[in-house]
Structure 1
């Protein structure tokens, strides 16, 4: 496989074939993210992508899922993305699901009909970084879209039959904006009604703008109890049809996995017990990105 630089994927794609079709992120301006800072965004050449598909045909026959890397595969124009998906379908017929990251820009560039076609060609799930439902936070982190756009693009993916997995970041509103960030994020999640929500806790990365803001005293990072309070407020404000809300990433202080609305009250009780000191939180040295 021709994998260049650091390659990341969602936890749920741990056993997937990783096919790198783009380098970097088409946005790459978020103040908290340092993942693709060393990569200039571009789409890889078809011959390289097709060579990697042939490699997967020989050596990845036990993996039934495939993930399109890097940061935003959906940005690829249809004239190139369709042949890639057709090649995956023809050469890797055992692959049951293709997934990839998507942002509002790339979703907006595709028509409803084009997204439906991509679904038919194998893209069954898209991972979207909401981060926050609070417009003030979204502007501060230079996300490139407001909450209304996030909602509209999330619904657009779901309309095409593509499952929607949304990531949010606890702590991104800082100490003063913590509860507003939580409640507004819950409001937006309710409006989007994703199939999956993954809540991560903010970990500041040296070299990013947000880290510099923290060092300069311009941003206050909430502590463990504040993060947990924020998580409770977010879940309380989130009403999903039948979505899975999980906060069991290694960055989190308390592992949570809840099917909403079924498990909402039980989960809020769990968080309350942790805040009362009756359940131990993950120590700092065991947290990781």
Structure 2
């Protein structure tokens, strides 16, 4: 595989074939993120993409899933993305699912019919970073969309039959708006009703604008127990028809794997026990991005 720069993928795609179609991120302005700061956004040539697909055809026959890297492959034109998916189907017929990162702009620029066509060509899951449902915080972190646009685009991709995994960030609103962030995020998640929710805990990364705000005393990161209180309020305000709410990323203090609505009460009880000190939290040295 001809990878350029650092490769990022969702935790659930750890065992997938990683096919790099673009480099960097088409937005690349979020104040908390440093993933693609040194990597300009560009689309790789058709020749290189085909070479990597042919490499995977020879050496990746035991991997059933494939993830299209990097930050926003869905921003490709419908014609070009369709062509790539057709090549994957032709040369890697054993793959059962193709995944991709998506943001509100890339979803907006495709019709439901186009998204449905991509689904039929193998695109089965999209990962969208919501981070928060609080409009003030979305603006502060330069996410590029408000809560209503997040809801509309999340509902749109679900209407097309593509499974949706939504990421939220505990602590992203700081201490002052923690409870507002939790309530509003639960509201937006309920409106989108995705198949998967992944909650990560914010870790301030040197070199990001948010890290500098923290250093200057302009942003206060919630303490571990405040993070737990935040996810408790968020979960209380989240209702999914039938979805998974996970907080088992390496950044989290308390691993959570819940299927909603069945596991909601038990999970809230687990969080409360942790808040009361009856369940231990992950130590700082074991946390990571």
* 1:135 aligned residue: 135
Aligned-pair CA distance for 1:266:
0.4
Residue 64 of structure 1 pairs with residue 64 of structure 2: yes
* 1:53 aligned residue: 53
Moved over 3 A (4+): none
* 2:188 aligned residue: 188
* 1:162 aligned residue: 162
* 2:287 aligned residue: 287
* 1:103 aligned residue: 103
User: In the aligned structure 2, how far is the partner of 1:172 from the partner of 1:44?
Assistant: 33
Counterpart secondary structure, 1:115: helix
Listed one character per residue, the Cα deviations across residues 233-268 of structure 1 (whole Å, up to 9, x for unaligned) are 000000000110000000000000000111111000
Residue 237 of structure 1 pairs with residue 237 of structure 2: yes
User: In the aligned structure 1, how far is the partner of 2:34 from the partner of 2:137?
Assistant: 18
CA RMSD of aligned residues (A): 0.4
* 1:174 aligned residue: 174
Residue 21 of structure 1 pairs with residue 34 of structure 2: no
Residue 270 of structure 1 pairs with residue 270 of structure 2: yes
User: In the aligned structure 2, how far is the partner of 1:279 from the partner of 1:183?
Assistant: 24
* 1:212 aligned residue: 212
Aligned-pair CA distance for 1:78:
1.3
Aligned-pair CA distance for 1:122:
0.3
Q: Which runs of 5+ in 1 are unaligned?
A: none
* 2:249 aligned residue: 249
Aligned-pair CA distance for 1:79:
1.9
User: In the aligned structure 1, how far is the partner of 2:82 from the partner of 2:14?
Assistant: 25
Counterpart secondary structure, 2:255: coil
Counterpart secondary structure, 1:55: helix
TM-score, normalised to structure 2, is: 1.00
User: In the aligned structure 2, how far is the partner of 1:11 from the partner of 1:82?
Assistant: 25
* 1:11 aligned residue: 11
Counterpart secondary structure, 1:107: helix
User: In the aligned structure 1, how far is the partner of 2:262 from the partner of 2:183?
Assistant: 20
The number of aligned residues is 289
Aligned-pair CA distance for 1:62:
0.1
Aligned-pair CA distance for 1:183:
0.5
Listed one character per residue, the Cα deviations across residues 67-124 of structure 1 (whole Å, up to 9, x for unaligned) are 0000011001112111100000000000000001000000000011100100000000
